[in-house]
């Protein structure tokens, strides 16, 4: 048997490994870089330090560390956190990841007390804890931006509760709607996303620490102490599951992808509406850019980019699902690949929500253009059919009659409301003067006066309820 050999500079290309004891030769230089995650997981340093403080405090309370060790660990971690925040920390690839970089720095600072920090803990439960803490904050930040965006939508909807625009199906003019009502449809989509964020947060807010490498630890730990110090609502009940599953990250990415899908749909409409062909709205110059060759251009870059970014968000979700699908219990190094897609989904979502929250209140509606567009395209044809039904016809007969009237309008290039009563009567003699009440745009929207309908009165009520629902949706308590 070889005699135990202290790792030396001849053995390792760089620093000594925290796990180097059983190894005969140093890590291949390429493998060292290939297996390292410090380049991207250093963003978890605050969570990693918070987890270490809580773990050490618990170890001291149960008598595994003495008070002096704990004081030194806390002081050392304070110093390291300050150094990292100030950009004075040297991250080393040979220390592999954020956890071992910080632990090595702590030991360099305080000696043996630093070496005792990892008692009863593994990087496996450590990293799972860090990601959960990180994602909890990410949920809170995303929720705050989503709320800001939704408040902007409610405000704009309030201003435009009675502004009329064409409502579309198949992107063909269908029936007139209030612009406020359209904006409230966006609000509903986002409110469900906010609810999903709230769910995601609730399910992820459990403590993995205590699971150690996979089976738990032989030290007399008290997980409830660590749990309450870190603000978790409970502990992960099974140690194998605690260190291995990343379904909470998948859930966040799924929530983010769904929200991106909604933002992308909104973007698509904004892009259409700012085009010269629609000309429904103006986006302020500060959210647009010009063309380097065509001087007349003002491009809606922000919505276009948001629409484009949905692609990477869906990709991140697919990456994580695929990452997990074949993994046996418990921890596998595969899991290190969870971070970059997750971080990217967080950054993308926060950026897109922020851009939208800033932009939406600044949208200017070209009310006359919207109105003219609704007045073209026979948007009140259904109202004429409903009118005939109220006068005693079956809906199918009414549908047929209105179809003929529309065909006449197309031939004459005029809207139904522009046909004279004499002409209208040729299609059905039960049509009277009062038909013009329903053929107007206002008559049409006002008639849809029930919960969920587009009548301006209902839009106002929906905004009031929306403000209440917005307050109640995102919950930080379990």
Tell me the closest approach of the beta carbon of residue 339 to ligand ARG, in angstroms.
6
399 is catalytic: no
- Secondary structure of the chain as H, E, C letters: CCCCCCCCCCCCCCCCCCCHHHCCCCCCHHHHHHHCCHHHHHHHHHHHHHHHHHHHHHHHHCCCCCHHHHHHHHHHHHHHHHHHHCCCCCCCHHHCCHHHHHHHHHHHHHCHHHHHCCCCCCHHHHHHHHHHHHHHHHHHHHHHHHHHHHHHHHHHHHHCCCCEEEEEECCEEEEEEEHHHHHHHHHHHHHHHHHHHHHHHHHHCEECCCCCCCCCCCCCCCHHHHHHHCCCCEECCCHHHHHHCCHHHHHHHHHHHHHHHHHHHHHHHHHHHHCCCCCCEECCHHHCECCCCCCCCCECHHHHHHHHHHHHHHHHHHHHHHHHHCCCCCCCHHHHHHHHHHHHHHHHHHHHHHHHHHHHHHCEECHHHHHHHHHCCCCCHHHHHHHHHHCCCCHHHHHHHHHHHHHHHHHHCCCHHHCCHHHHHHHCCCCCCCHHHHHCHHHHHHHCCCCCCCCHHHHHHHHHHHHHHHHHHCCCCC
The smaller minimum CB distance to ligand ARG, of residues 41 and 81, is found at: 41
The smaller minimum CB distance to ligand ARG, of residues 53 and 123, is found at: 123
Tell me the closest approach of the beta carbon of residue 243 to ligand ARG, in angstroms.
9
- Among the listed residues 9, 13, 85, 291, the single catalytic one is 291
- Binding stretches for ligand ARG (CB under 6 A): 37, 41, 97, 123-124, 127, 331, 333, 335-336
- Asked if 145 and 194 count as a contact pair (C-beta separation under 8 A), the reply is no
The smaller minimum CB distance to ligand ARG, of residues 17 and 53, is found at: 17
- Asked if 129 and 226 count as a contact pair (C-beta separation under 8 A), the reply is no
Tell me the closest approach of the beta carbon of residue 96 to ligand ARG, in angstroms.
6
The smaller minimum CB distance to ligand ARG, of residues 55 and 182, is found at: 55
Distance CA(131)–CA(318), nearest Å, equals 19
The smaller minimum CB distance to ligand ARG, of residues 132 and 307, is found at: 132
Tell me the closest approach of the beta carbon of residue 131 to ligand ARG, in angstroms.
8
Distance CA(395)–CA(340), nearest Å, equals 57
Tell me the closest approach of the beta carbon of residue 24 to ligand ARG, in angstroms.
19
- Among the listed residues 8, 170, 218, 420, the single catalytic one is 170
291 is catalytic: yes
The smaller minimum CB distance to ligand ARG, of residues 37 and 310, is found at: 37
Question: What is the CA angle 89-91-97, rounded to 5?
Answer: 130
Tell me the closest approach of the beta carbon of residue 124 to ligand ARG, in angstroms.
5
Tell me the closest approach of the beta carbon of residue 327 to ligand ARG, in angstroms.
12
The smaller minimum CB distance to ligand ARG, of residues 38 and 64, is found at: 38
Tell me the closest approach of the beta carbon of residue 121 to ligand ARG, in angstroms.
11
The smaller minimum CB distance to ligand ARG, of residues 314 and 331, is found at: 331
Active site residues: 170, 291
């Amino acid at each position: 048997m070889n005699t135990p050999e202290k790792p030396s500079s001849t053995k390792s290309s760089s620093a000594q490994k925290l796990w180097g004891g059983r190894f005969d030769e140093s890590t291949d230089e390429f493998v060292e870089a290939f297996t390292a995650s410090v380049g991207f997981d250093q963003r978890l340093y605050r969570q990693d330090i918070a987890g270490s403080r809580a773990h050490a405090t618990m170890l001291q309370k149960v008598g595994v560390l003495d008070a002096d060790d704990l004081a030194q660990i806390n002081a050392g971690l304070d110093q390291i956190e300050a150094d990292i925040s100030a950009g004075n920390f040297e991250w080393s690839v040979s220390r592999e990841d954020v956890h071992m970089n910080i632990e090595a720095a702590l030991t360099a600072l305080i000696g043996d007390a630093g070496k005792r920090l990892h008692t009863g803990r593994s990087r496996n439960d450590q990293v799972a804890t860090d990601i959960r803490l990180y994602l909890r904050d990410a949920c809170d930040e995303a929720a705050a931006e989503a709320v800001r965006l939704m408040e902007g939508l409610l405000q704009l909807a309030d201003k435009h509760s009675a502004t009329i625009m064409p409502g579309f199906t198949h992107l063909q003019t269908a029936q007139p709607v209030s612009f406020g009502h359209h904006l409230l449809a966006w609000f509903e989509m986002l409110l469900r996303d906010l609810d999903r964020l709230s769910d995601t947060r609730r399910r992820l807010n459990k403590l993995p620490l205590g699971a150690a490498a996979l089976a738990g630890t032989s030290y007399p730990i008290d997980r409830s102490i660590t749990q309450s110090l870190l603000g978790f609502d409970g502990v992960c009940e099974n140690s194998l599951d605690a260190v291995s599953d990343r379904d909470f990250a998948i859930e966040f990415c799924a929530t983010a992808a769904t929200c991106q899908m909604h933002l992308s749909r909104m973007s698509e409409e904004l892009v259409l509406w700012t085009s010269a062909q629609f000309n429904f709205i103006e986006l302020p110059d500060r959210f647009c850019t010009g063309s380097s060759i065509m001087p007349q251009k003002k491009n809606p870059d922000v919505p276009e980019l948001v629409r484009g970014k949905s692609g990477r968000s869906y990709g991140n979700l697919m990456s994580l699902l695929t990452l997990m699908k074949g993994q046996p219990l418990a921890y596998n190094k595969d899991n290190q690949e969870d971070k970059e897609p997750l971080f990217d989904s967080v950054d993308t979502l926060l950026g897109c929500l922020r851009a939208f929250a800033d932009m939406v209140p600044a949208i200017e509606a070209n009310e006359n253009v919207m109105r003219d567009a609704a007045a073209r395209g026979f948007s009140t044809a259904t109202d004429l059919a409903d009118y005939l039904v109220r006068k005693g016809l079956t809906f199918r007969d009414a549908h047929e009659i209105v179809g003929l009237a529309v065909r006449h309008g197309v031939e004459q290039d005029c809207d139904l409301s522009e046909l004279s009563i004499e002409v209208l009567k040729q299609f059905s003699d039960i049509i009277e003067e009062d038909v013009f009440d329903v053929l107007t745009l206002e008559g049409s929207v006002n008639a849809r006066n029930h919960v969920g309908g587009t009548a301006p009165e209902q839009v106002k009520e929906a905004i009031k309820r929306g403000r209440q629902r917005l307050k109640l949706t995102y919950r930080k308590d379990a």
